[in-house]
Amino acid sequence: MLYLLWKMDCFFGLESVYMIIFACVSLILAIKHLILIIKKQVKINFVIAGLFVLFLIYLLLPIRKDASGNLSPVCSVGSFLTFGCLFVLLYIILKEKNKIDFLTIFRAIVIGFIIAGFLGFLRPVSERLQNVIGEFSYNDNIFRFCGLAQHPNSIAIYSTFIISGILYLHYNNKLGIETYLYFPIVFMFGYMTVSRSFLYSFILCFVIYVVAVIAKERKNCYKKLLPLLLELVAISLILLKYTICHLERLGISDLIHGYGDSVDLPLEDLEDINDPGRGGLLKKYLYDFISTPLILLFGRGISYPNLGGLAAHNFYLQVLWNVGIVGTILLILITCFYIYYFSELKVKDIFVTAFKDVSFYFLIITYLMIFFVESIFPGIYFCLTVFYLLTAVCSVKVSKIEDMKNNIDENILKEKKEM
pLDDT along the chain (419 residues), means of 10: 48 60 81 87 92 96 90 91 90 88 89 86 80 80 85 89 94 92 96 92 94 91 93 96 90 77 81 83 92 94 90 93 96 93 84 83 89 86 84 78 49 49
Residue type, 139: N
Spatial separation of the C-alpha atoms in residues 249 and 213, rounded to whole Å: 30
Spatial separation of the C-alpha atoms in residues 313 and 327, rounded to whole Å: 19
CB 344 within 8 A of CB 98: no
Degrees (nearest 5) of the Cα angle 391, 203, 189? 65
Q: Over the range 263-276, which residues count as b (16 or more CB within 10 Å of their CB) and which as e?
A: bebeeeebeebeeb
Whether the upstream peptide bond of residue 378 has omega within 30° of 0, thus cis, is yes
Q: What is the pTM of this model?
A: 0.87
pLDDT score of 17 = 65
Closest by CA to 228, choosing from 172, 186, 174, is: 186
How many other CB atoms sit within 10 Å of the CB of residue 131? Answer: 8
* 3-state secondary structure (DSSP) of residue 143: strand
pLDDT score of 16 = 61
Cα distances from 90 to residues 84, 103, 104, 381, in angstroms, run: 10, 17, 18, 15
Contacts made by residues 91-99, CB under 8 angstroms, sequence distance 24+: 91/33, 91/45, 91/48, 91/49, 91/52, 92/29, 92/30, 92/33, 93/2, 93/390, 93/394, 94/45, 94/48, 94/338, 94/341, 94/342, 95/33, 95/42, 95/45, 97/342, 97/394, 97/398, 98/398, 98/402
Read off the DSSP letter of residue 309.
G
pLDDT score of 7 = 46
Closest by CA to 284, choosing from 304, 301, 268, 302, is: 268
Closest by CA to 25, choosing from 89, 112, 103, 104, is: 89
Spatial separation of the C-alpha atoms in residues 137 and 139, rounded to whole Å: 6
- The secondary structure of 289-301 as a DSSP string is HTSSHHHHHH-S-
